[in-house]
A = this chain, B = another copy of it.
Amino acid sequence: MEPGDSTKQARAAAQLRKGVLEYCVLALMRDRPRYGVELLHALEESGALATSQGTVYPLLSRLRRDDLVTTTWQESASGPPRRYYALTDSGRAALDEFTRVWPGFRNAVDAFLTTPHPPTGDLA
């Protein structure tokens, strides 16, 4: 994404990420601990959820503040040490909760976008 990209498409995508990014990051930690730049790359490869460091690190700080993740420093073979983030029980519960809520939300949006809204009345 270009720095000065203020198209309507970019704006819609930016607003979409709100609130979802947190749980996608938790989902990435589900099977093993991850570190910041690793999460950043995984989000970038997904395409639709690409973001920046200025978004991920404050998010990770909030997750740690709310006891959804714990962190451990670990040496790296090449480069500075990495802070690995792992799910706590609360974090896993939050992820499960979101996984339960998401399908209903997704289907509701799909319905609004695809269902016609005729003048005569919805369905009553």
Contact = CB atoms under 8 A, between A and B. Distances in A.
One complex includes copies of this chain to the number of 2
A31 interface: yes
A113 interface: yes
Given A18-B15, A99-B113, A48 B108 contact: yes
Interface of A is mostly: helix
Residue picked from A8, A17, A27, A112, most chain B C-beta under 10 Å? A112
27 contacts: A12-B97, A12-B101, A14-B19, A15-B18, A15-B19, A15-B20, A16-B20, A16-B101, A18-B18, A20-B109, A23-B112, A23-B113, A24-B108, A24-B112, A27-B112, A27-B117, A28-B117, A30-B116, A31-B117, A46-B111, A48-B101, A48-B107, A49-B105, A49-B108, A49-B109, A102-B109, A106-B106
A69 B23 CA distance: 33
A98 B24 CA distance: 21
